[in-house]
Structure 1
Amino acid sequence: MNEQAPLPEIRVDKWLWAARFFKTRQLAIEAINGGKVQVDGQRAKPSRSVRPGSRLEINKGGLTWEIQVLAIDKQRRPASEAARLYEEAEASRLRRQERLREIREMGTAPGADGRPTKRDRRQIQRFTGRGDSDA
C-alpha cells in the first residue's frame, strides 16, 4: 500500500491573496482575468488550482515576479509568514530590483497627477507671458 497523500490544493486567487500579492481576492481575480497571472506558463482562471511546485508569473504595476509555490495557506498571515509560501527566482528578483531603481531615478514631475499646483501654474504663466498685469 504505497498510496501517497494528495498534495494540498487551493484556488490561485485565494493563494495570491494569502501570499499578499493582492490586497483583496477581487483584485487578484481581476488581475487573473486580465491575463496578468500565469500558472505553469499558461493563462489561468481564478478557479485554477495551485499546489506546491506550481510556477506562477505575476505582472503587477509594471513589475514581474516569477515564483514557485512552496506551501499552501488558506488564511492571510503577516507578510513575514506569507513570504514563506513561495520562492522567487533569482533572475526575477534582480530584474524587479533593477526596474524599481529605474522608476526611482525617473522620479515624478511636479503635479504629475495631471493638474498643476498653484506654484506650477504661476511658473507656467511667467514662462508663457500670460497673466501679466500690464496687459
Structure 2
Amino acid sequence: MRIDKLLWFLRFAKTRGLAQKWVDEGHIRRNGNRVERTGQPTAVGDILTLPLRGGVLVIELLSLPARRGPAAEARECYRVLDGERNFAIAERSNEPPEGPEGEYRP
C-alpha cells in the first residue's frame, strides 16, 4: 500500500493530499529512512516515524487497512512504540538527573 494512502486510511492525515504534502516535504520516515516519494510501498512490520502536533509518534504496522474506516478500526492496524517517552526536546531539562541527596545518576 502506498504510504500516502496508508496515512490517510490510518487517520493521521485528514486528506490524502495532506499526506502527500508531508511526504513531499520529507517529514515521514519508514524504517529509519526518509520517505522521498508518495508512492513508497509499506508493509506489515514497517516502523513509521510521524511528526504530529503533539510531538513525534513512532508506530509499527500490524496490518494494512482495507479502507478508511472508524478511528477504532484504524488503531487496530498499528501499535505505538515507546509511548511513555516524551519526544519534545524543548520540554527536557538541561540539568543532569540527580539521585538521593543530590548525587548524580547516569
State whether TM-score is above 0.5: yes
**Which protein has the bigger helix share?**
1
Residue segments in structure 1 that go unaligned for 5+ positions in a row: 1-9, 103-135
Which structure: larger Rg? 1
- Aligned AA (2:79): E
Q: Deviations over 1:71-112 (max 9, x none)?
A: 1124101000000111111x2x2235x85xx7xxxxxxxxxx
Q: SS in structure 2 opposite 1:80? A: helix
Aligned-partner Cα distance in 2 for 1:39–1:46: 12
CA RMSD of aligned residues (A): 1.7
Among all aligned residue pairs of Structure 1 and Structure 2, give the percentage whose two residues are the same amino acid: 32
- Aligned AA (1:88): V
Q: 1:95 aligns with which of 75, 78, 85?
A: 85
Question: 1:68 is matched with which residue?
Answer: 60
Aligned-partner Cα distance in 1 for 2:53–2:10: 17
Q: Deviations over 1:33-52 (max 9, x none)?
A: 11211011111121100010
Aligned-partner Cα distance in 2 for 1:31–1:75: 20
Residue segments in structure 2 that go unaligned for 5+ positions in a row: 92-106
TM-score normalized by the length of structure 1? 0.60
Q: 1:49 aligns with which of 38, 41, 50?
A: 41
Q: SS in structure 1 opposite 2:73? A: helix
Superposition pairs of residues 15-30 of structure 1, within 5 angstroms: 15-30=6-21
Count of residue pairs brought into register by the alignment? 88
1:37 lines up with 2:28 in the alignment = yes
Q: Which has the higher contact order (CA 8 A, sep 6+)?
A: 2
Q: Decide whether the 8 Å contact of 1:36 with 1:60 is kept in 2.
A: no
